[in-house]
Amino acid sequence: MGGLWVDFGYLIGATLFIIGLRKLSSPATARDGNLWAAAGMGIAIILAMVEPISGFGNYPWIFGGLIIGGILGWLMAMKVQMTAMPQLVSLFNGFGGACAVLLAMVELNNGYENQTFTQGSILIGMLTLVIGGVAFTGSVLAFLKLDGRVNDKNVTLPGHTYINIAFGLITIAGLIYFTIYPDKFNGTALAISIVWSLVYGWSFVAPIGGADMPVVISLLNSFSGLSGAAAGLIYGNRMMLIGGILVGASGTILTILMCNAMNRSLWNVIIGGFGGGGTSSSGADGEVREISVNDAAILLYYADSVVFVPGYGLAVAQAQKTVKELDDLLEANGVEVRYAIHPVAGRMPGHMNVLLAEADVPYPKLLDLDDANSFLNQATVAVIIGANDVVNPAAETDPGSPIYGMPVLKVWNAQHVIVMKRSMAAGYAGIQNPLFFHPKNRMLFGDAKKRLQDLVTEVKGMG
């Protein structure tokens, strides 16, 4: 009877996971989706405690892990700023991969010591170890890059693409060999496999940077899920299997969608096509025209429609609530306000959506790439706040540019363009932006939040 109730509990938990995932697809129900999924995870934890494999002596370890993990999770949720959310997501991906590595280590070691390996068990164990290791160290490196602690050039070797190809081929060869000859696996092979998977993860992410980082985070998220699913197969745990499959599948689908939005293949992302500090073949120069805060405020106040284009600079300045305040003032004056969201704006999938949701910007105001470009054709003013690569016309006009062919927001089709930036520095992809020198464009230099606050003050004075 106990087994029946446990199976029934797994069914309920899995159902809650699926309901939660479904609700996460809409901003209106995303908060509830998190709670539904958390309830499913709570059931999984309870089932793990009532179904001990090696007796009740495991409870101190279980409760110890719950207490430590719960405290760390709560502290991170309370302390981490919204600007650091991409780094936090990377760490969570890494934790999932590290967990899978530890589980695979235990099972592979048991199989080696007790000589209980089968071809299927060693294949699943090795897959769990490799995928988990890549997810762990790859996510750690992604965190360090996003946090500005590591420069792409410092971790990329000459011919790094070929190094990663060699890593992949040798990994596949090792998986095939030990699957065919499981009796050849020993302690030395286990140690080498652990180190190999961890080094491979670091090398895998090293050449990837620039505008590809949101795609990398999504891909590592799928790796974390797949490693969890493989660990579920090792332990015969249905909840781990289902949860891992859901995370892995959703991460994979999101990765593919983002690659399509960038008009690039996943392979091109993996080999590091962007973010290598590349430069345009033609360069970009010309006359930079500035605009004062007062003139910018007048332009916005008397506009028929305004499109805000948020980027990572908005997140760094924590200016989402200030732009919402400016939005409200303009709407009160009869100005139609929208937000153009590029799929890879920011440093993680949905980064701008999360920031604007925190500021209570109504979701219908957020336009995706195609709708935004249609709206920009008749917009009076486009205001770029900390975005760069996603509004770079070189993606359409310069075949020598590293971002050539990537769909971008065509802000230059608006009647007027205002770019808010601290300086003329290149974007994260390391290339100059010809938009800065466009005849329609005016530069408003300074901290995004401070400049938006100045605009709010000016617009209030016009009311």
Annotated active-site positions, please?
389
**Among 105, 135, 118, 139, CA closest to 227:** 135
> 179 near 122, Cβ under 8 Å?
yes
> 133 near 204, Cβ under 8 Å?
no
> 389 near 429, Cβ under 8 Å?
yes
Report residue 162 CA to chain centroid gap.
25
96: tokens are 């999932």
Measured between alpha carbons, how far is residue 362 from residues 24, 338, 355, 410 in Å? 16, 10, 12, 23
> 173-203 burial string, b = 16+ CB within 10 Å, else e?
ebbeebbeebeebeeebbeebbebbbebbbb
Q: Which amino acid is at 301?
A: Y
Which helix (H) or strand (E) segment holds residue 384: the answer is strand 381-385
Give 373-376's long-range contacts (Cβ < 8 A, gap of 24+): 373/340, 373/409, 373/410, 373/413, 375/305, 375/307, 375/338, 375/340, 376/307, 376/340, 376/409, 376/410, 376/411, 376/413, 376/414
**Cα(186)–Cα(207) distance, integer angstroms:** 33
Q: What share of the chain is helix, strand, coil (3-state, %, to 5)?
A: 65, 5, 25
In eight-state DSSP terms, residue 53 is S
Residue 248: CA atoms inside 13 Å, Cβ hemisphere, count?
A: 22
In eight-state DSSP terms, residue 413 is G
Measured between alpha carbons, how far is residue 259 from residues 60, 262, 413 in Å? 45, 5, 25
